[in-house]
Structure formats: C-alpha cells, structure tokens
Structure 1
Amino acid sequence: MQPTIDQPFKFKFQFSDQNGNATSVFSLKGSFDGQALQLDKESLVIAGLLNVVRRQNRMVLTGIRDEGEVVQFILILSSKGVAAQLKQAVDIARSAHWAKVHREQLVAAGRGSSYRDATCPHCTATIILSDLPVTPQLFCPFCEALTTVAASAEPPANEKEFRLCDECGMFSHPQKFTIFYFYFLLVVYGFWTNEKWCCRACMRKDAWKMLAGNFLFVLGVPVAITQLIRAYSGSY
C-alpha cells in the first residue's frame, strides 16, 4: 500500500549546476507530502519521479513534468542526513505507487495471481518481483542494497555495506575519494579538485596518477598519499 505522510517533510536546499556549484546564494524551501515533491516553484508528482540518486548531501532527480517534458535537477541539501531522509521518503512513495499501478495492470490483463513483490529490508521500498525467478538474494534498485533472503544461504561478510561502484558497476564497498592537483608555474598557481564515489580498486589508477602529477609541486603530495593509502587498505 502507498504510505501516507501525516506532515509534509520540509527541507531547505539549493539548486546546483553540472559542476557542483550552487546556482543561488540563499537556500530555497522544499517539501514532500507523499504525493508530490515541491522544489521552490517546481513540482513533480511521485509517478513522474523516474530516478533519484544521492551522494552525501547531494541528490540528482530525474522526472517528467505533467506535459511530458523530461527534466533533471541537482540539489544540495543542508546535510547528508536530510538528503538520506528525503531520498528514502521519495523512494518508499514512488515504489509503492509503481507497484500499485503494476498490480492493476496485471489484474486488468487477467494475470493478477502472477503479481509478486518484496519490501527492501534496508530502505523499506517496494520491489516488484513479478515474472522474475526466485533467487537467494534480493537486490533493491532504489537503495542498491543486496540482501540474502534464503534461509539456506549464508550471506557474505559485510553484505549490508555492499553497493554498486559508479566506475565499474560491480558490488563492492564504494566510498568517496578526493582527487586533488596543485600546480605552480612561475607566477601562475592554482589547484583542481574532484570527488568520486567508487571502490578501492577503481581508485588506485587515479591515486597513482595524482601522486605523479603532484610530485613536482609538493603541496598536493600529502593528499595523493592519503588517497593512495585508502585505495590499498581495507576490503573492496
């Protein structure tokens, strides 16, 4: 069933450009009531929220307006906790709506008995399983969590931390890595920085390149060494 929200979830945010820079000086007001997401003057109903991706306190929303136009918004939330709460609320609502519509379509086609779903143990979103084979593990397309659900199967160590790496698309323990370059050419100096959400194996190439690129200018070396250590320590 579609969840109901007694009080709208209110939050403050800023729109961001493709480079990650806020497009406004002051924060804007947003809210989500379980039916529609209000972003300042923009409004998207849950049926039109196609994809929601969160990294730390930033979110990328892809949706369809009532007139059929596909739009994308990049948001900077006040904290990663607020971003996590908003994403979970949106995912629960839109997944329940999609499941309801899917079930109605199957019933209309005379295949109501083939409807099957599951609730993600991590984010509690509704996962449609109709026409899919029964497997020992359950993948949630909303929070990207992998869960062993078969009683006879032994879950892998740290399974709850498994997520998809943005670089290789494999299950691992991805985390945020910082890429930093400092340069100094006579009277011209500056730096370039970027962030990646990936596994340690994918970060190693960038970490070695960062160490080599910063070697002559010294100031960027500590950052490069730190990321290199992180890339080779711990589990994947």
Structure 2
Amino acid sequence: MTATADLPFKFKFVKNGRTQSLFPKKGTATQDSIVLGKDVLSYDDIVDTTTRDQRIVLALSSTNNLSSSLQKSLAGGSAIVLEVSGVKAQDLEKQVDRIASQKAIDKRKQHLLEIGQGHLLRVVSCSDCEATLDLTDYERSSHIYCRFCESIFKENQPPLAQGSTYRVCDECGLFDRIRSYTEFYFFFFVIAYAFSYKRRYVCDHCANGLFWKTFLTNLIFILGIPASIYIKIKSMSGRDPALKELARANALAKKGQYDKAAPIYSQLSQNYLEHPGLLMNEGIGHLVAKDPVGAVQCWQRSLQSCSNYHPTLGLLYNLQNPSQKS
C-alpha cells in the first residue's frame, strides 16, 4: 500500500501523560504536512515516531520550525504527543513514516546528484511498514533493519520479526517480544482505600520482574493479586515457538551467566540463523560477564548480518566512546 490519500483523524495533545483538552481537534496527514487543528507540522521536522496504544509520539529535530502554539504543546521539550481517535495510531504512524522517509530520500538523492554521486544512492522499502530506507552509507548484508517500525527483514521478503511484536525493550535493552501490561496496586486502610496503575511496555523477561514487584506489593491487601497473576499469564502465552526460550536466555545474560545463556542462544539461532537481535543479546551477555572482547565479536557478527542494525551500532559506539554515550 502506498501513501496516496490524505488520512484524517482526531486528536488531543498530551503532556505529562495527560490529555490537554476535553474535546478532540481535527487533524490530517496530507502529502505535504500534518495539519493539527489550525497548525501545520512539516515532515522535515520529524526525526522519529513511535506509538503506545492510541498515542503517537512525534520526535522533532533540534532545528524544527514550530509555530508558537505548537511549541506550547511540546512534551519534554522535543516531541509532540497525540492521543488519536478515528484511526489506529499505528496506521497514522505508518502514513507519517512513509511520507517522511520518502521526502528524506528525495533530499538525499538531490544532494548526491549535485555532487556527482547520484549512482551511490541505495534504497529499499520496508516489507512491513513500507517506509523507504536509505542504505547508501551501509555495506550490503543479508538482513535489513527498519528504523521506523523496528522490523528486521530480508530484501523482498516478509519480516523475520515485526517490530510491533519483537524489538529492543526500552527498559532492559534486549531484543525480545514486547507487550503492554497494566501495573496495578491496591491499598486498603481502615477508613479508606486507594489504587494506582500505569501502562508499561516491556519484554517477557522484564514482565517477570514486573509480576514479582506487583505480586509482593499487592500480597498484603489481596485484591490486587489477580492483576499481578494476569501479568504472568500474559507474559508466558502466545510466544513464537521458535523463540520460546528467549526470555530465559535474556534473564541469564543480564545476570552475567553467559555460560548458561550461550547454549540457549545457540539453539534459538538454529531457527533464526545469524539474527542480528539475538547476536546483540549474546554480546550484552558477554559484556555483563565482563568480557568486552566477546561482546565486540558478537556485535560485529550482528552488523555483518545486518549492517544498519541501529541498536548494535549504538552499543558499539557507546563501548568505544564511553564519555559520549548516544
């Protein structure tokens, strides 16, 4: 599917986790820009996108040219967060990514033509989200990483791992299955009761830690325990049979017990040969076990398999430049 038609939606600005208005405004993702009520956001100002349920985060460049009203709606100083309705947030994200990525490619192509290097341009389309990826600066490799949807695929083939399901966990930094969970606590006192909750997006390994945290905290008051048990059940169900043991391998790697994790990673690799995410995890296991040489070897294999795998590139950069972590 190509991004040809405008995509209308309704939205509310979000700051500090809360929507900023009672009623939604009208928005449209056109071929030229994103219309947000009376304001216009240029695709050139967007450097990254991500979604969480029905919210989309638009990370902005440091040189953005926002209107004064949009500047007031910034979350964290460098992003616009929208809670959308009338369309799935992921569909809006894909529309934005397809258009923004193509515009970036057009600018890159023009620049290369101006300096007589137009023949060097190398682009592919993501087999999942259809964003256009610039691979000009990377060696050819068997796998390709989409920085927009975080899927890993081989050219002209379906994704090996869809970024909407399998990607790098924001909390532990390991490649694994990511799901949303409700962190719920219930407190009961003699004359009153209280509860709190928030959404978490974590991997199966981190979900186990979340289960124990909520279970032990809720144990005193009992009523919150079912929510804790649901976390455990959800984290253990529906896994890809070929990656069923990934969470266990990751847990061992994070503890520095690489000797126990290595055989599991080896078994997983039989179904996903030279998978860049699995190789990255192996490298992290070596690093935690204070074996930086082994870590670099794994990460080099990861990049040989997928030369533009940004998570591994970031780890190598941080290891080589500890004072300038990305």
Asked if TM exceeds 0.5, the reply is yes
State the match for 2:133 in structure 1.
127
Please point out which of 13, 16, 20 is paired with 2:14. 16
Alignment of 1:21-32 (within 5 A): 21-32=18-29
SS of 1:175's equivalent?
A: strand
Letter in 2 for 1:189: Y
Q: CA deviation at 1:222?
A: 0.4
The residue aligned with 1:224 is 228
Q: Which residue of 1 aligns with 2:123?
A: 117
The alignment's TM-score, normalised by the length of structure 2, stands at 0.64
Q: Which has the higher helix share?
A: 2
Per-residue CA deviation, residues 145-184 of structure 1 (Å, 9 max, x unaligned), is 1113399xxx99x633432322223332211111101111
| Structure-2 change in CA distance of 1:52 and 1:114 (3 Å) | same
Q: Note if contact 2:54-2:85 (Cα within 8 Å) is conserved in structure 1.
A: yes
Pairs within 5 Å for 1:2-81: 5-6=4-5, 8-19=6-17, 21-63=18-60, 64-65=64-65, 71-78=78-85, 81=87
- Runs of 4 or more above 4 Å deviation: 66-71
What letter is aligned with 1:108? E
Q: State the distance in 1 between where 2:193 and 2:37 align.
A: 39
1:187 aligns with 2:186: no
What is the DSSP-based 3-state SS (H/G/I as helix, E as strand, rest coil) of the residue aligned with 1:230? Answer: helix
Q: Displacement of 1:98 after TM fit?
A: 0.5
- Structure 2: 5+ residue runs without aligned partners? 72-76, 248-326
Equivalent residue pairs, number: 227
CA distance in 2, matches of 1:115, 1:170: 32
CA distance in 2, matches of 1:150, 1:124: 11
Cα distance in 2 for residues equivalent to 1:45 and 1:11: 17
| Greater CA drift, 222-231 or 160-169 | 160-169
Distance 1:150 1:13, change over 3 A: closer
Q: How many Å separate the matches in 2 of 1:55 and 1:66?
A: 24
RMSD over aligned Cα atoms: 2.4
Deviates more, 1:107-116 or 1:27-36: 107-116
- The structure whose residues are more often strand, as a share, is 1
* Identity among equivalent pairs (%): 28
